[in-house]
Chains A and B, each alone.
Chain A
Amino acid sequence: MRLVVASGKGGTGKTLVASNLAAVLASNREVVLVDCDVEEPNAHLFFPSEEKTLPVFTDVPAFENSRCTHCGNCAGSCQFGAIVVLKDRLLFFPQMCHGCGGCELVCPEGAVTMEKRPIGHVTFSTPRTGLVLITGVLHEREIMSPHVIREALGYASGHPLVICDAPPGTACPVVETLEGADACIFVTEPTPFGLHDLALAAGVAEALGVPSGVVINRSMGDDGSIRDLCRARDLPVLLTIPFDRDIAEAANSGQLLTDMMPGMKEQFLDLFRRASELLGVR
């Protein structure tokens, strides 16, 4: 089972929920936690541990100047504006290239060959018994986060229980993380921003056919607007975490709530049970 923890709005507590959930489940089974927020991964803050690293590459074209006739076919085929052909030379912007290889296909002179370029890395650690943490990291100035996410998820594929800490938002990186997942937990907060972005993110999960539920974090007790939305969109509220100074202090000092606050372990186990029910699993 692959369970994604997503949010829409950033800073609602995705990593808090994903990390605590993974830690609790690891106490009696094997879990892989994949940090898919490759532009700013932070699950490792809860799990300081020795890491092993593997690079992530993307394909980029290399141009053989002696063969190039500056016909411009490659620039014309590039959907991302990564190639510009002047009268006497060619300019290539590797950061804008998506590695599709179209330029290689359309070059009539055979002047283009695809090479590998590093754009990020994936780290692996085993911070506690039963838990493997896989973190995707996109290098600065790079844009192809879905590629790094795909690679990180690939290392976890086939594992019976995978928890994914998704990036915020609703764009390509979120779609890459959510696509093919078995269920999704949206973490939101009772603010107009939290409500607005939850509605958008729930739309993404709906479009991808991923059954979803909601965790209300920093709950002030009532949470009327969030609960109204959940009712209207048929999203079960799986867990409510109160707006509480002790919780904030624990999280901000890198501690897991499930390690240090009585009752939290049971609440997160219950969250997992209820999330599993989204799939019809009991």
Chain B
Amino acid sequence: MMVCVTSKGPGPDDLAEERFGRSPYFLFRDTEGGEWSSVANEFADAAGGVGPRAAQVLIDRGARVLITGNVGGNALAVIQAAGIEIYMYRESGTAGDAFQKFTAGQLKKFA
């Protein structure tokens, strides 16, 4: 299952990012194993409409789970329509830490 973690940098050792649409990077990893991959968010500094466009990146990459701190209204509509589950991570750890907590079942699902 493909998981996306919002991150301040391109690797799992970079800090997790609380914002979804304006997250600098989206990191992807399969729960079945394999390598991390990353996509720089080209909309991070855009004036508006970042949420749905960022959600499109997740959809195109086949993510089934999103780990982030907060999701805006428009992005939420897209993510829910796409059936992607959202888990909240609001601690100050790395993207890798957030992924570990998710796989250990320690993250809360976003209502």
Give the distance to chain B from A107, nearest Cβ to Cβ, in Å: 17
Q: Do B52 and A86 have beta carbons less than 8 Å apart?
A: no
With an 8 A cutoff between CB atoms, is B93 at the interface? no
> In the assembled complex, which residues on chain A have CB atoms less than 8 Å from the CB atom of B77?
91, 93
- Please give the number of chain A residues whose Cβ is less than 8 angstroms from any Cβ of chain B in the complex: 17
Give Cα A85–Cα B55 distance, bound, in whole angstroms: 10
Q: Do B81 and A91 have beta carbons less than 8 Å apart?
A: yes
With an 8 A cutoff between CB atoms, is B74 at the interface? yes
Inter-chain contact total with CB atoms closer than 8 Å: 45
Interface-side segment among B7-15, B26-34, B43-51, B103-111? B43-51
Main secondary structure, interface of B, reads helix
Minimal Cβ-Cβ distance residue in B for A82: B49
Q: Which A residues from 74 to 107 make CB contacts under 8 A with B?
A: 75, 78-87, 89, 91, 93, 96
Minimal Cβ-Cβ distance residue in B for A86: B82
> In the assembled complex, which residues on chain B have CB atoms less than 8 Å from the CB atom of A75?
56
> In the assembled complex, which residues on chain A have CB atoms less than 8 Å from the CB atom of B59?
84-87
Give the distance to chain A from B79, nearest Cβ to Cβ, in Å: 10
Q: Which B residues from 42 to 80 make CB contacts under 8 A with A?
A: 43, 46, 48-53, 55-56, 59-60, 74, 77-78
Q: Do A96 and B56 have beta carbons less than 8 Å apart?
A: no
Q: Across chains A and B, which 4 residue pairs bring their CB atoms closest together, nearest first?
A: A81-B49, A81-B53, A81-B52, A80-B49
Could you write out 6 A-B pairs with CB less than 8 Å apart?
Answer: A81-B53, A81-B74, A84-B53, A91-B81, A93-B52, A96-B48
